[in-house]
Chain A
Amino acid sequence: MTMPAWLQGGGPMYDFVIAFCAVVGAVFLLLVIVIIASKGQRQYLEARMRRRRIELEPGFFKYVVGKEPLSRYLPRPIQRGERELVEQILFDVGRVVKGAVRDRSREAFEGLGYVDHYLGKLKSRRWWTRAEAAEKLGLMGSEKATHALVDHMNDPVPEVRVRAARALGSIRTSEALLPLTRALWDRGRWSAIRVAGILIGAGDEAVEILLREFDRMPLHAKISAIDIFGRIRSLKAIALLRELLKDPEADVRARAAFALGSIGDPTSAPFLAGALKDPNWAVRAMAAKALGRLKEEDSIDALSASLVDQQWWVRANTAEALKNKGARGMGALLSMLDSKDAYAAQQAVQMLQESGVLDEMIARLASEDGTQRQQALDIMAKLVKLKRTDLLTEMAHTHPEASIRQRLAIILGLRVHPLPSA
């Protein structure tokens, strides 16, 4: 094979190709060197940070559970390049612990100048820098940042506003939480769900502010506040919620009933039982649902009376509540099989089936105890009368015990197969 003439030594084209290849090769080599060097440098820096973390971390851990100043626990002063490392260590601790330890970590953030640093960044012209600063100030939990964060609840960028609100929720002082409760009023600017989520995260501190502000709130904010009381399950809100069962607004009464159920204090039962007679059916339905969540049995009679409520939703919630009340509630449901109200009776069947009581009754058909067998037979007869034979028919074909299959077949009037001889 012969090379083309222009590739044979000496010509200008040859010189150009050689020079071109040399330049490309040099650039490529340089790139490889830069990539390797930067990777090496990154690995070196990471290893150095790991070593420094191992060196400093125990000191910070001891500081946050101790009482002395930070310098007493650290093996050496913090150096200039360790700002991010120290911040990360303190954030990591804040993620897993609460209480006095978090206060100590907040003090460290303040003492080491982190709070001032991010307060400065909160003034940045770049919105993402402001958003990051707001978030970090929230994680630090410093009260010193409250005013600046309250100001940023009016930031022109929604993301910054939301992060400032979340940060205030983390600070949890009344000064920080008050603007958040006010945000519940401003439907045009703030999503009630988002603000409620932040206040729920703040816990009992938020409840105190909401209780104080409640009377002054517009209706839509009151409704959000009631939902927050229920979600936080705050015992402090129980007295107000019981009062609200008499509020002129039906929506307020219904939500107060639901919140009382979520809180789960059994002493609310008489108040909720009273709400089962509310003129508004939504309030009655919520009261029944709430009673189903309370661990008590005193409301069974009131609930049994509500099984014949005119509204199906009330009856459905009532039946479910009775199902949750154990043996006595079940007894009330069984007695509803005789109800003149067809819907209430059907609802009772549904609940008995879902709770496994009917399975137990079917099993009792083979019981050696005559009383138990008779009770089961009576209930089967009621189910046939109510035309709710779906489960019985299925069991007549599939029940593992032949004697039960045969008894069910007789009850249902199906063709009876003789029992195999013993």
Chain B
Amino acid sequence: MTEGGTQVRQHRIVVADDDPIVIKFLSAVFQDEGFEVRWAEDGEKALKVIAEAKPDLVILDLVMPYHDGFEVCQRIRASAETAHVPVIILSMKEKEADALRAFEVGADDYIRKPFNAMELVARARKLMGTPRG
């Protein structure tokens, strides 16, 4: 993608979720919105993909094999390279305590599943500073 003759990198999102439907659905939705999507189906792979991809946003499930979403979020914040990356938690956990803990470990937003896809896109855009149009 170019803008004024300068190479502009497509905004990149990492989706980490152990539910393949969520990964496939979000990949389709965000790709359609013009974002590049990388994904991981467990916490360990998520950390690896985030370190490699240097994303502009991470969408994290809380319940995942190896490292849960809280731990992944904590590690994202602990690393100097990724500390600034916005994180949206997308979880089936409904308890207020889980949402509070997510914010404590550094999440920027908390959305419960089942989720409203367009609301998620709007929140993601806001966090990345990429308004529609």
Contacts and interface: CB of A to CB of B under 8 A. Distances in A.
B25 interface: yes
B114 A62 contact: no
Interface core residue of B29, B113, B117, B118 (most chain A CB under 10 Å): B117
B115 A97 contact: yes
B3 interface: no
A58 B27 CA distance: 9
11 contacts: A62-B29, A93-B21, A94-B114, A96-B19, A97-B114, A97-B116, A97-B117, A98-B114, A99-B116, A99-B117, A101-B116
A312 interface: no
B119 interface: yes
B97 to A, nearest CB: 14
Interface string B1-33: 000000000000000000101101100110010
Interface of A: 57-58, 61-62, 64-65, 92-101
B111 to A, nearest CB: 11
Given A93-B25, A97-B116, 17 more contacts: A57-B28, A58-B24, A61-B28, A64-B117, A65-B29, A95-B114, A96-B21, A96-B22, A97-B25, A98-B114, A98-B115, A99-B116, A99-B118, A99-B119, A100-B116, A100-B118, A101-B117
A96 B21 CA distance: 8
A95 B32 CA distance: 21
A-B pairs with the 4 shortest C-beta distances? A61-B28, A99-B116, A98-B114, A92-B21
A100 B29 CA distance: 14
Interface in B80-133: 113-119
Contacts of A62: 28-29, 32
Nearest to B90: A96
A61 B116 contact: no
Interface core residue of B25, B115, B116, B118 (most chain A CB under 10 Å): B25
A217 B116 CA distance: 35
B14 to A, nearest CB: 18
Contacts of A97: 25, 114-117
Given A61-B28, A61-B29, A65-B29, A96 B116 contact: no
Nearest to A94: B114
A58 B117 CA distance: 15
Contact of A65 (B19, B21, B114, B118): B118
A96 B118 contact: no
A93 B21 CA distance: 7
Contact of A96 (B32, B115, B119): B115
Contacts of B19: 96
Contact of B25 (A96, A98, A99, A100): A96
Interface string B27-46: 01100100000000000000
Nearest to A61: B28
Contacts of A64: 117
A97 to B, nearest CB: 5
Nearest to B19: A96
B119 to A, nearest CB: 7
Given A62-B32, A96-B19, A99-B119, A57 B24 contact: yes
Nearest to A99: B116
Contacts of B115: 96-98
A95 B21 contact: yes
Nearest to A60: B28
B106 to A, nearest CB: 24
A36 B117 CA distance: 44
B25 A61 contact: yes
A82 B21 CA distance: 19
A62 B26 CA distance: 10
A99 B29 CA distance: 15
A372 B115 CA distance: 52
A101 B32 CA distance: 15
A49 to B, nearest CB: 15
Nearest to A58: B28
Nearest to B29: A65
A222 B118 CA distance: 38
A65 B119 contact: no
Nearest to A91: B21
A309 to B, nearest CB: 30
A58 B32 CA distance: 10
A408 B115 CA distance: 57
A98 B116 contact: yes
A401 B62 CA distance: 41
A171 B24 CA distance: 26
Contacts of A57: 24, 28
A62 B114 CA distance: 17
A336 B45 CA distance: 56
